[in-house]
Amino acid sequence: MPKHPSQSPASYAMPTWFMVVLTAPIIIGLLYFGRDFLIPLAIALLLFILTAALVDRIDSVKIAGRPVPKWLARILGTGIIFFGFAAIAVILSNEAEEFVEAIPRYTARFQDLTVRIESLLGAQIVGAIERSIAEVEIGSWISGLASSASGILATFSLILLYLAFLFAERQSFAAKLELMAPDKSSASHVSSVLRSISEGVKQYMWINAATSAMSGAVAYLIFELVGLDFAATLALIVFLVGFIPNIGAFIGVALPSLLALLQFDSWTPFLIVLIGYGAADQIIANVVQPAMQGKSLNLSTFMVMVSLAFWGTIWGGIGAFLAVPMTVLLMIICSDIAPLRPLAILFSGDGKLPTAQTR
């Protein structure tokens, strides 16, 4: 009997690529239409990973030559996360009423600024700006935001519930994974992939949490120094937008700068916020963060921006926060599956993949 010609590697890759192209629209549709269910779950998973990263950091600290006990590290790491949530709730609740009361003052200040801008830009340009702003119904927007507070609270409670059950079942997950696998080799392989994903996302979450906290602390000191309204809320916003690549830094500087322009008659506070905080943020972003990160998070900047646009389209503002962790996850999974390794190389910064395992 004639021997069958050996199949090339490409012939094995074709069915995988075909399945990817076939299932991609289905997966995107599920992500979009199931976002109300998936977003709280994704946030809970990321907070769980961040807590694990904090526990690892606390566990690595030595007191009197002895490491911190595991149980104490877990209590402290979990406590920090829950304390952070409580602090966010207190800050927002304390300053929400003050923000509503300050709107008439800012409106009057804006009208004064338009008079000055009119002398510089001309009446036609200023008129167009005023008409555009008038079309935005600020009152109804604020009312809608207030009415959605109950929904936000429900989502917040669901995230905490997910998080509590994740902590409760973390010890039994490895045992269940081994039982689900067809053999020990497959279980070991899946465990290796999950560890790679966990380490990559933990590294990203830890570094961004630390540097965003630095930016938020510096921002709060500068905002308090100039007497900026809602300094704590603005510092919180600076911390949160620090998780959004590239665009987050712009939002973190632009928002308090515009508020300083509206609040004060003098240009000095505006310049202090814009230049002082802007310079500090750039130092943290371009000196401190690369020193902490090194080359551990090897992602293409262009693909990060593509991921930011994709997840922002699918899941809105929350998707922007989740873009990089999702990209890390996808890159590690693709790097572990031989036919999808070209995708992993495309996502990477220099073509060097975080894992060399193939399937």
Residue 128 banded pLDDT, cuts 50, 70, 90:
low
CA angle 219, 224, 228 (to 5 degrees): 95
More confident residue, 331 or 133: 331
In angstroms, the Cα distances linking 228 to 100, 251, 348 are: 16, 17, 41
* Mean pLDDT in residue range 188-200: 74
Contact of 338 with 357, CB cutoff 8 Å: no
pLDDT at residue 53 tops 90? no
Query: What is the model's pLDDT at position 141?
Result: 45
Residue 138 banded pLDDT, cuts 50, 70, 90:
very low
Q: 3-state secondary structure string, 195-220? A: HHHHHHHHHHHHHHHHHHHHHHHHHH
* Mean pLDDT in residue range 134-143: 48
| Residue 333: other Cβ atoms inside 10 A | 17
Residue found under tokens 């020193």 = 291
* Mean pLDDT in residue range 164-173: 76
Mean model confidence pLDDT for the chain: 75
Burial of 322 (0-12, 13-18, 19+ CB in 10 A): buried
Query: What is the model's pLDDT at position 80?
Result: 83
* Mean pLDDT in residue range 310-323: 84
* Mean pLDDT in residue range 331-351: 78
Q: Could you read off the pLDDT of 62-121 as tens digits, one per residue?
A: 777 787 787 788 888 888 888 877 777 777 777 766 776 777 777 776 666 666 665 555
d(CA 81, CA 50): 8
Burial of 336 (0-12, 13-18, 19+ CB in 10 A): buried
d(CA 77, CA 47): 11
CA angle 322, 323, 324 (to 5 degrees): 100
> Of the candidates 64, 121, 99, 69, which has an alpha carbon nearest to the alpha carbon of residue 237?
99
